Structure 1
């Protein structure tokens, strides 16, 4: 009787139970909380998420996403409430590791959490500001800095259109924009910067565009996602509406440092890669939970990749010819109005 073979259906049932247990453990091996400063549907956020997902196939990570939505709502009370909500979600979810993306997630969430002795490891990405503003570095934090490709974008624009010698740099009043401007002012630019200007509402923005028409050879736009119809409004305008109004009156080539600017009518940009930020942050986060090392033992680095993007209808409008070798190097090209220059598609796995 001891040598009698086990019933085959019983063996399969036991195997299924064992496999189910293994699979369940694999699926919930680690908990990761991803806190975004902005909203789902914002181009940068969506591509950071794609980078995260590409780094995590079959890794047994349970990922929870939280969006602070500080592009649509920019008032201080909202940002504070969004940060408090993120802290509450973190306390309830009990993640093994956190990815905090962009500056508002640091200012209103991660900087507070990382000061607590019980803080889980935190990996930041997409950060433009000074680390000291957030109390970084500290034992619980490491990450990836974002440094916009100002000089490379301007250098390329000048090579394509040598008459671009004087440039106005225009942006909104967001925290990211203020930090980008502060960084830009530290650089040795390949052209003369006529002025660095910020706008809160559409009237101010268009006034700066008109001024650039009078004394500049090109207009560089950074972010315009917190521009409001009037300064009394709480909700920001659609970014596409802001750029539609801009391209309607701007007589100059428009340059960008993000993919959405090219999508909305800028001639070109060399942009940081949100995919790179998400991918690198995920790999660091996995290393932390798998090895148990302190975040402070992993060096904080700058992201490296720069993506060349072109809008050919906008280039033709300003009689700018893009050579074939540059088109081959480009990560994204708009051939017709309404297309997107930069759109990753999720892989099947």
Structure 2
């Protein structure tokens, strides 16, 4: 009799736990559908970082669908990709949208979503001034991407205080054209002379420019070469293109991303794609939970990380004075 009561008690407890588990399941399941439209492709390092930040903020509460426009490698196909993204939007009927980088704003958000829907849209990785896209809008806000070039130059001057003249090479894109004045102001604020700025269309054009830069510039800023055509017309990865340019220059170079420095640039104070993605995702969550989008102000990135390529430093025979940089330190930068 006692054993039967124990068995019934156990069965009853199991039944209660099963019911409780079933009742709790919806609370942990994805509650929102989110469409994420990335301007570039999955191999672009900054896109991968932004995706990490988005998923860190939304994975427990949202079901994400990613769409890549691939405009770094095939800019001319961007408008068609934007149409496909809009068709996917109608198919999914998402609760919210995240749009990464400038091309997604110009080709997708502005023509199809801005002020035309109630669906909240948050951008990240935007280099142009928000007014270019009519932001903020009734359903659009987000986080701007601002480089830490002034901080990168300050770091470079600690490593190589004798540098005086500065040049820049970056692939010709709307994003790279958007910050020309800002970079020039940062260079002049650091006490350097801004010599030249070029937007090569091919790798060979970039290498030809480097030939002249070697005579005219002490330091070169090189970044965002993803998709630039090689000698055979094939789009290159950012990693391969940066390595070729840095090797050809043979003098101090600074980058703007972790991959730039990993692939040969001397140093940088890098932006965090994770910060971009995470911030946009948190802003979207506020909207999904009821905050009106116009009450969620546009912001900008605040943190950077100092990094140095020691192999490049040795190859350039740079022997700086003692310089202590904590590897895990996040540096808050000025607006």
For the pair 1:42 / 2:40, whether they are aligned, the reply is no
The aligned residue for residue 298 of structure 2 is: 300
Distance (whole Å) between structure 2 residues aligned to residue 118 and residue 39 of structure 1: 26
Unaligned runs of 5+ in 1: 333-349
- Give CA-to-partner distance per residue, 1:278-298, whole Å, 9 cap, x none: 1111111111111x1221111
Distance (whole Å) between structure 2 residues aligned to residue 98 and residue 246 of structure 1: 37
The answer to whether the 8 A contact 2:226-2:238 is kept is yes
The aligned residue for residue 309 of structure 2 is: 311
The aligned residue for residue 110 of structure 1 is: 109
Distance (whole Å) between structure 2 residues aligned to residue 31 and residue 146 of structure 1: 25
Distance (whole Å) between structure 1 residues aligned to residue 150 and residue 295 of structure 2: 32
Residue range with higher mean Cα deviation, 271-280 or 66-75: 66-75
The aligned residue for residue 211 of structure 2 is: 210
The aligned residue for residue 52 of structure 1 is: 54
Distance (whole Å) between structure 2 residues aligned to residue 173 and residue 97 of structure 1: 31
Distance (whole Å) between structure 1 residues aligned to residue 165 and residue 306 of structure 2: 22
Distance (whole Å) between structure 1 residues aligned to residue 154 and residue 81 of structure 2: 39
For the pair 1:226 / 2:227, whether they are aligned, the reply is yes
Counterparts in 2 of 1:1-349, with a 5 A limit?
Answer: 9=11, 12-13=14-15, 15-17=17-19, 19-56=21-58, 58=60, 60-75=61-76, 78-187=77-186, 188-190=188-190, 191-229=192-230, 233=233, 235-290=234-289, 292-321=290-319, 325-329=323-327
Distance (whole Å) between structure 2 residues aligned to residue 163 and residue 106 of structure 1: 41
Structure 1 pair 326/83, CA: closer, same or farther in 2 (3 Å)?
A: farther
- Please give the TM-score of this superposition, normalised by the length of structure 2: 0.88
The answer to whether the 8 A contact 1:169-1:197 is kept is yes
* Aligned-pair CA distance for 1:87: 1.0
* Aligned-pair CA distance for 1:15: 4.5
Distance (whole Å) between structure 2 residues aligned to residue 82 and residue 20 of structure 1: 41
* Aligned-pair CA distance for 1:131: 1.4
Distance (whole Å) between structure 2 residues aligned to residue 164 and residue 202 of structure 1: 26
The answer to whether the 8 A contact 1:99-1:125 is kept is yes
Unaligned runs of 5+ in 2: 331-335
**C-alpha RMSD over aligned residues:** 2.4
The answer to whether the 8 A contact 2:225-2:237 is kept is no
Residue range with higher mean Cα deviation, 82-91 or 239-248: 239-248
Distance (whole Å) between structure 2 residues aligned to residue 115 and residue 22 of structure 1: 37
Q: When the two structures are aligned, how many residues end up with a matched partner? A: 323
- Give CA-to-partner distance per residue, 1:148-195, whole Å, 9 cap, x none: 111111122122211111011111112221223243245443111111
The answer to whether the 8 A contact 1:174-1:226 is kept is no
Distance (whole Å) between structure 1 residues aligned to residue 167 and residue 157 of structure 2: 14
- Please give the TM-score of this superposition, normalised by the length of structure 1: 0.85
Distance (whole Å) between structure 2 residues aligned to residue 30 and residue 325 of structure 1: 47
SS in 1 for 2:318: coil
SS in 1 for 2:34: strand
SS in 1 for 2:80: helix
